[in-house]
Structure formats: structure tokens, C-alpha cells
Amino acid sequence: MGRIKTLGVKFSVAFGMMFSVSAVSSTNAFADTILPDAIVVGGPSGGVSANNCCSGNTVPTNNFGTTSTSITSTDGGKGTATFIASSSRSVSASIDLQAGTSYVANGHIGAAASGGMSYYFEVFAPQPRSITMDVTAAGGITGTGWLSAAGDLARSQLTIDPIQTSTAGGYTLVLGKYLSNGLFSTVDFNTSWSTTNQKFTVSTNKIYTVTLTAFVAADVYNGASASMTAFVDPTFNIDASNTDADQLQLVFSPNIGAVPELSTWAMMILGFCGLGFLAHSRHDGRTLAA
């Protein structure tokens, strides 16, 4: 039998978004800011290899809630991939894989779940100034089973970015974890991160974007199984130590859930741009690329 070329699963989700959103005007004494809604972009994908060919599916979403897909192979392989975006401002992605046992297809099955949520916040004040915000956030990545393919990866991340800031300006805050197997090395896909009342500085009367990202991707072979999950869940507040804190008003995108705060919620978003993942698989000493 000649060399069998097994096609690994490769998913690339590129999001370039130009949108026109119904605006919501905040009824604030200090400003009349028009903000769009939060946005969700992502979705699960899955695929199988067999007889030098492959099949798969992708289920994109731009809605809050749960989006999932399932895949099966003729040799008994199966898998599911799920992406969840909650209007309470959290995201999670998970996959669950069981490879078949066919030698011809290398018993291969792979999947990914990836996505993000972007929304805006702004702190209104009578005059522009710098103030302190608090973020309490939790995130993590968990993995079980055979997670040894080159390119298996996961991300759990939160970023806060001032709008209309040059790349050189950088992010206001970045929290989270990113894990990926190399061609000849593997990582432990079990990690968590959290922060309680972490302080960061923002300018009042200026819009900031919060982006939550969660994705996982893996391939398994020859009867092996694996599961992975990533999630992010933050909460924001104005720090009570700010001078004249009672004059500050924190607003968020109107279509996301509020947390207890001295504020009205009114809001916005940033398009989630350029989320993707590439899963390369390695088996029997060979690199299998999609």
C-alpha cells in the first residue's frame, strides 16, 4: 500500500467586519454618546479524514447563546464542538473527540471551537481625567486525554483596548493564557487564571473595547480520545478610591447583562477581527498538515 496522505483538520475563521448598527443614545448628564451593541463572532468546526479525503463542517454564529456541531466517521469516530457566548459577558469554547480505529483513515478526527465577544464601555465624568477601574476576572483551559498532536492549542484571554489608538499605544490591559503544542513538544492543557479587583487606569469620556476570546483545537488518531475547554468571565467596577467617585458613571453595551454598579448601562462594540486557528497534526513521526 502506498503512502496514505491523511488530511488533518484545518480551520481558518477570519472575521473582517463592517457593520451598521442601530445606535443607542445614553441619557447621561455629562455626555450624549451614541454606542452600538456588543458583537459575537465565532463558531465550532469539525472534520474527519478518510481515504485521502476529508469532510467537515463549520457553524458560524454572531448571536448570544450556544452554537454546536457534531461529526462522525465511518470507522466509529465521533466528536462535538461548542461555542457559548453569554449576554452576562462571558464566553467558552469546548471540544470532545473520540477517534475511530481505521488504519486506512489513520482513525483521525479533529475539531475546533473558537470565538469572541467585543463590547464597549465608557466612564462619563463632568471633566476629562484619569481614573482607576477594577476588574475581577476568571478564566482557564482544561484538557484531558490524548493531546499530543502538533498544533493542538487553546486560548483564554481578555483584552481592553482604547478606541482609535495607534498600534504603538498598546493595550490598556491583557489577561489570560495561550497554550500550543510544538512540532516536537507538548504542553499541559490544564491551567487557570484569575484576578480580583485588579486596578487599571482609563480616561473618562473615552471609549474602550473589551474583547473576550476563547478557542480550542485538537486532532486525535487511532482510537484515542480528548476533550478541551476554555472560558473567560470578567466583571468591571469603578474603584471607590477615585476622587468624586459619585460623579462617575460607567456605561456598557446595552445588549449585555449588567452587574451591580453605580451606573446606567448603554453601550457598544468592536468587531472581532482576525480570530482563527490552525491545527496541524503529527502521527507516526510524520507531520500531517491540513
Higher pLDDT, 241 or 3: 241
Tens digit of pLDDT for each residue in 33-68?
A: 666 788 999 888 877 665 444 556 788 888 899 999
Tell me whether residue 14 is in a domain.
Answer: no
| Domain-located, residue 4 | no
- Is residue 11 one of the residues assigned to a domain? no
| pTM score, whole prediction | 0.75
Amino acid occupying residue 199: K
Is there a domain that residue 13 lies in? no
Q: The C-alpha cell of 9 is what?
A: 483538520
Binned at pLDDT 50, 70 and 90, residue 222 comes out as confident
Instruction: Please report whether residue 236 resides in a domain.
Output: yes
Q: What is the number of structural domains in the chain?
A: 1
Tell me, yes or no, whether 128 lies in a domain: yes
Percent of the chain with pLDDT over 70: 69
Whether 238 maps to a domain, the answer reads yes
pLDDT in tens, 125-146: 999 999 999 999 999 999 999 9
Structural domain including 125 reads 24-284
Determine, yes or no, domain membership for 174: yes
